[in-house]
Amino acid sequence: MGSASQPMLVVKYHRSLLKKRRSYKEIRESYEANLNETQLQFKELTPLQQKIIRDKIIEQAKKDKLQSIQHYLIAIVLTFLLGFGAYSLFF
């Protein structure tokens, strides 16, 4: 029986939250309090090591591109075969 008034209480609470506007400064301060001052430290690489890593990345990108093209071709062929099979089955 008491559950009928509960939605109205929720609506009333939400309205009170909407009326309470927070300024940009308050929001910014709350986020700044949660930020960590983490400094990233990267390993220094020689130009030769940089080139080796760059070449590996380029090679992997080419492999990924070829693999995605193969997947698209397989999907197109399967779609065509399914469509042709459905066409020949019904007509």
Give pTM, 2 decimals. 0.49
Higher pLDDT, 55 or 7: 55
3-class DSSP state of 90? helix
Mean pLDDT, to the nearest integer, of 5-14? 82
55: which 2 tokens?
């070449």
Q: Is the pLDDT of residue 77 over 50?
A: yes
Mean pLDDT, to the nearest integer, of 20-28? 76
Domain residue extents for the chain: 2-35+44-90
